[in-house]
């Protein structure tokens, strides 16, 4: 049984190596990435989120958006980028340096959201879509997030913040739909999602 013992000691060492390989080395390899600074334009990528958008990220986490939406674009062969319009390039580790926790996601019941801020820059669109997803796409299986909004009686003048809804989805006559602070933060977060900048390790493809 001597050979067996040698074999087993080999197993043990490799088992510890797995931990080293999957946790520690990536930590040192990726843990200290710095943002990419474009000195000519005076910009630093990825963009730092505003405080409001950071709060919106918490709303995103609390309501489990990751269970249907991913935030990563894989290399061309896996995610044909032009066809689905999810982004001009694959995403790389540097894109996520400000994300704590990471929200890469594992499911695409809904579209990828890596660049949703670029795709849908309008806050009005997002509010209407969150309140009544089916008003934007009838076939959508996204649940309405009505609890992020309050329906109130219109006072003397309509509230400028009121959500602009399509016909058939509006509240009763004389009422309006006002976003809560959570909804406003969430939309700010969605609008901030834009990873269409170029990085040295992931340049934008030439047209």
Interface with other proteins in residues 144-203 (CB under 8 A):
144-147, 150
Instruction: Provide, rounded to whole angstroms, the least separation between the CB of residue 109 and other proteins.
Output: 7
CB nearer to other proteins: give 3 or 157: 3
CB nearer to other proteins: give 50 or 144: 144
Out of 12, 167, 173, 206, point to the residue binding other proteins (CB under 8 A).
Answer: 12
Out of 52, 92, 136, 165, point to the residue binding other proteins (CB under 8 A).
Answer: 92
Residue-wise DSSP of the chain: -HHHHHHHHHHHHHHHHHHIIIIIHHHHHHTT--PEEETTTTEEESPPPPHHHHHHHHHHHHTTGGGT-------TTTS-HHHHTS-SS---GGGGTT-SS----S--SS---TTHHHH---HHHHHHHHH-HHHH-TT--PPP-GGGEEEEE--SS--TT-----TTSS-STTEEEEE-HHHHHHHHHHHH----S-BTTBPPPP-
Using rule CB under 8 A, residue 108 touches other proteins: yes
Out of 42, 51, 101, 200, point to the residue binding other proteins (CB under 8 A).
Answer: 101
Out of 55, 56, 66, 88, point to the residue binding other proteins (CB under 8 A).
Answer: 66
């Amino acid at each position: 049984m001597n050979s067996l013992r040698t074999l087993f000691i080999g197993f043990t060492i490799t088992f510890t190596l797995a931990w080293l390989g999957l946790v520690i080395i990536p930590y040192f390899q990726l843990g200290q990435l710095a943002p990419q600074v474009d000195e000519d334009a005076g910009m630093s990528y990825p963009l730092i989120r505003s405080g409001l958008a950071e709060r919106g990220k918490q709303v995103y986490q609390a309501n489990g958006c990751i269970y249907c939406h991913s935030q990563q674009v894989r290399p061309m062969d896996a995610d044909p980028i032009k066809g689905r319009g999810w982004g001009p390039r694959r995403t790389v580790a540097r894109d996520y340096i400000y994300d704590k926790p990471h929200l890469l996601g594992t499911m695409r019941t809904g579209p990828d959201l890596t660049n949703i801020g670029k795709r849908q820059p309008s806050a009005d669109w997002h509010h209407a879509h969150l309140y009544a997803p089916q008003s934007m796409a009838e076939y959508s299986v996204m649940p309405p997030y009505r609890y992020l909004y309050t329906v109130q009686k219109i006072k003397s003048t309509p509230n400028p913040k009121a959500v602009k809804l399509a016909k058939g989805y509006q509240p009763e006559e004389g009422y309006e739909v006002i976003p809560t602070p959570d909804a406003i933060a969430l939309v700010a977060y969605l609008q901030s999602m834009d990873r269409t900048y170029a990085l040295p390790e992931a340049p934008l493809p030439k047209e």
